[in-house]
Copies of this chain bind each other. A is one copy, B any other.
Amino acid sequence: MSLKPLAHLVETQASSQEVYKGNFLHVFVDHVTLPDGAVATREYVVHPGAVMVIPMLVDENGAWRVVLERQFRYPIGQVMIEFPAGKLDAGESVATCAQRELLEETGYTAQEWARAGLMHPVIAYSTEFIDVWFARGLTAGPQKLDNGEFLEVFTASPEELLQWCMEGRVTDAKTLAGALWLQNTLNGNWKLQWQPVAALA
């Protein structure tokens, strides 16, 4: 099966206009030419991209635990359970962003890292991608939260996390997708290539 863009499905840009530029959201309206030659508009957010980290700890019995956060998410109006994540700074590599966000939000540093993959959370109306990394060999330290950032760090067993996904206690899509990687990594179906932190770009 080819996943290359298929000409009979592709839309091409005819024009592009920025219609809102906030501190965070940049909104564009483009005119596009549809596969049948008709013209349509596409409204979307331009996003710098982000990284999510699945940090893994070993408990006193040798069992895996994952590091999670509780954070109030204003558009949803709820405290959400999430894996640590954050936006790329200008010019920052995804590997550097992963280490920075893990440290800032949770205080942990990691000796080993593995890139799991990529996801697109909002394909209908945002350019956002989220690069997904695993981290292990964790050392705890103080959080370095941004001014105005409030979140709690806690740990759970993979079984607890999957139970919460099933029950609807975890509804954040990036964390649900992270649970898919975690489940298949721990059951041996999906393989990670671990690298020492010093080997990261």
CB neighbours (8 Å) of A117 from chain B are: 165-166, 168, 171
Q: Which of A1-30 contact B (CB under 8 A)?
A: 1, 3-6, 8-11, 19-20, 22-25, 27, 29-30
Specify which of B24, B162, B173, B184 is in contact with A130 (CB 8 Å cutoff): B173
Specify which of B75, B151, B184 is in contact with A166 (CB 8 Å cutoff): B184
CB neighbours (8 Å) of A169 from chain B are: 3
CB neighbours (8 Å) of A180 from chain B are: 165, 176-177, 179-180, 183
Q: Please report the C-alpha to C-alpha distance between residue A40 and residue B148 in the assembled complex, in whole angstroms.
A: 7
Q: Please report the C-alpha to C-alpha distance between residue A23 and residue B44 in the assembled complex, in whole angstroms.
A: 11
Stretch at the interface among A88-96, A118-126, A136-144: A118-126
Q: Please report the C-alpha to C-alpha distance between residue A77 and residue B117 in the assembled complex, in whole angstroms.
A: 18
Total copies of the chain: 2
Additional pairs, 20, CB under 8 Å, beyond known A5-B78, A173-B176: A3-B81, A5-B79, A10-B79, A11-B74, A19-B20, A22-B43, A24-B125, A30-B74, A34-B148, A38-B148, A40-B148, A42-B74, A42-B75, A45-B125, A119-B171, A121-B122, A122-B128, A162-B189, A179-B180, A183-B183
Q: What are 9 residue pairs bridging A and B, where the CB atoms are less than 8 Å apart in the complex?
A: A5-B77, A5-B79, A9-B152, A22-B29, A22-B43, A25-B44, A34-B148, A75-B126, A75-B127
